[in-house]
Amino acid sequence: MNRRDLLIRRASGKALGDTPNSTCSPCNVGNVGRFSNGVLLTHENKQVKFYDDLIRGRQVIVNFMYASCTGACPLITEKLIQVHKALKDRMGEDLFMYSLTLYPEQDDPATLKNFAQMHGALLPGWTFLTGDPYDLETIRYRLFRENHIKFDLSKGFHAAQLRIINDARNLWAHVSPNASLETILKHISWLDPPKSLEEIREENKILQEKIDADIKLHGYRRTV
Amino acid sequence: MKRLALISSLILMCLTAPAFGQTGCEFNIVGTWKATSINSVSSVIYRFEPDGTITMTSLPNSGQDSKSKEIARGTYKLDNAKSPQSILLKINGEDFDSPDRTISVKIIKYGETSFTTGSTDYDTLEWERMDATRYFLVLAGRNGVFYDRSGPTFPILIKTDGRETQVDAVGVYSRDNKPLFGTVPAELRDEFMKESRNASDVMLRLEISAPQYERGLKAMRTWDRRAKEGDLLYPNVFMDNILLVKQVTETLNQCGTTVKLYRLDAGGYDYISNDNPPSLTAYFYFKELKRLNESLHIPDVRFQEITHPAAKQARQ
């Protein structure tokens, strides 16, 4: 995509990533290599390609977990449910959540579905995934690698991280699932698709009204 | 008092529980075993087939015209491969004195290459695996080849029955003095089939069991696949190589300690990882393993005798 196309898109108010899973022209072809395209199984026992079907052109939140985890995973799942509630209008539309198992030998689709059901996480736009250990290991290193053997080999360490990706904008962010809901939502918003001119104008208008009200109440030099 | 006895027995159980009973450490009885009674010097060879049949043959005497003779045939059943307790043997032989020709022997302890059985009616037997195929792991490394003084470092797995030899090697090798990761070219691999006098080379050759070989080969083939499909875990091939050598060497002790290992995990105590760049880590890891396991190293002469039995006979 050249600068002209980008400007036309912006002017027309069309976000770069507003057509999830489409054959998006801004998607970097090289991204398949960055993510890996291994075939995984969803908790509904459906085969999907990791990049082509789940990541391409989308804004996603990815984490690793395992069904028998009694430590951090249930707490993280609870936090992700809060995130889902806060963004429920977008979930499954332009925002997706993927929870991949660290132990595919133990976690088949039925086990993952059971886990999701038990924690109330069978929600739209949220998919639990298992597959070949080879592919899951590749994805884990591609997304969460620290370039340090001790951390990279520790599966427990990877159960406590969230990766936010907007493939259309080619942006990645990382946030700890132990952070506050507000912080996590803030991190997600940093990767949101670019807003249209109308949306930006509307936001600026609301902001200006707040500033005006503030000035009216306190004056220009507000004393705290 | 009862509670004390219970706790004592639990502690005893924990202490005596075999390290073998771990994930992926199923007891594989298929193959040839030499059973020796602890009360006598007599030994019998048992051949356990995958289809559940068994053949018993006598051990050949040291005399010139002696040959091993078939004693009996029958069937066997191992109760549980994950945690074996007993083997049920049904013998069809002529000379067997058991009326129903069925005996159950209790497995007292077991490992990958040996196990011990006992029963109320028969002597305790020590079973030792004696398959014709021999397996070796060679840890090979060289420094001073690449720009940062590092060099090719890779494990080699060898399987030989005296006639045919299969050699697999995956790791960092050199092409035009550049480091590459994948299947090591045969000419470089063959340089480490013999002990080197070069001070920059390190080579440790260990004889391993069939399960150890299979586990090592599985890890090696996975890394070979990663190299071929562009799925290496790190952009730096030396980091991938560290994981490969770590996996191959650590699978040796997966079902019980057979070699002394160094804890290579970049932790605070891991001076090899902390004091060296990734490109030299695997090399110094091999050096440390060589130091720790010097007594287990198979020298060239012994290795030649195993892989070329004719050479041994000629020398004798």
pLDDT tens-digit profile of A105-122?
A: 999 999 999 999 999 999
Chain B interface includes A138 (CB < 8 A): yes
| Paired sense of beta strands A95-101 and A126-131, if any | parallel
Domain with CATH 2.40.128.280 in chain B: 31-130
The amino acid present at A131, given as its one-letter code, is G
Q: How far is B305 from chain A (nearest CA, A)?
A: 39
Give the fold, CATH level 3, of B31-130.
Answer: Lipocalin (2.40.128)
Per-residue model confidence (pLDDT) at position A58? 95
Confidence (pLDDT) at A24:
47
**pLDDT single digits (tens) A16-37:** 333 334 334 444 555 777 888 9
Residue B91's pLDDT band, with cuts at 50, 70 and 90, is confident
pLDDT tens, residue by residue, B149-191: 999 999 999 999 878 899 999 999 999 889 999 999 999 999 9
Query: According to the model, what pLDDT value does residue B22 have?
Result: 55
Mean pLDDT of B231-247: 96
Which of A36, A138, A147 has its CB closest to that of B239? A147
At residue B66, the pLDDT reads 60
pLDDT at residue A223, rounded to an integer: 62
Q: Tens digit of pLDDT for each residue in A35-47?
A: 889 999 999 999 9
Q: How far is B270 from chain A (nearest CA, A)?
A: 10
Is the complex ipTM higher than 0.95?
Answer: no
Rg (CA), chain B: 23
Q: A38 to chain B: nearest residue by CA?
A: B231
CB of A170 within 8 Å of any CB in chain B? Answer: no
Interval B95-130: pLDDT, tens: 555 555 788 888 888 887 888 888 777 778 888 888
Annotate B24-84 with DSSP letters as a single string: T------EEEEEEESSSS-EEEEEE-TTSEEEEEEPPPSSTT----EEEEEEEEES-SSS-
Per residue in B12-63, pLDDT (tens digit) is 333 333 445 455 678 888 888 888 887 776 788 898 998 999 988 887 665 5
Where does A24-193 sit in CATH, by number?
3.40.30.10
Of B231, B267, B273, the CB nearest to A36: B231
Domain boundaries along the sequence of chain A: 1-18+199-224, 24-193
Tokens of residue B174, six digits: 């050199």
Average pLDDT over residues B196-201: 89
The pLDDT value recorded for residue B173 is: 96
**The predicted structure's pLDDT at residue B103:** 82
pLDDT digits (tens, 9 = 90+) for B55-89: 888 876 655 556 677 888 889 999 888 888 889 88
Mean model confidence pLDDT for chain B: 85
Q: How confident is the model at residue A189 (pLDDT cuts 50, 70, 90)?
A: very high
pLDDT for B170 equals 97
Q: What's the pLDDT at B186?
A: 95
List the beta strands (DSSP E) in chain B. 31-37, 43-48, 53-58, 70-78, 86-91, 102-110, 114-118, 125-129, 134-142, 153-160, 165-175, 178-183, 201-208
Best of A149, A151, A158 to substitute, by most chain B Cβ atoms within 10 angstroms, is: A149
Interface test with A, best of B218, B220, B265, B274 (most A CBs within 10 A): B265
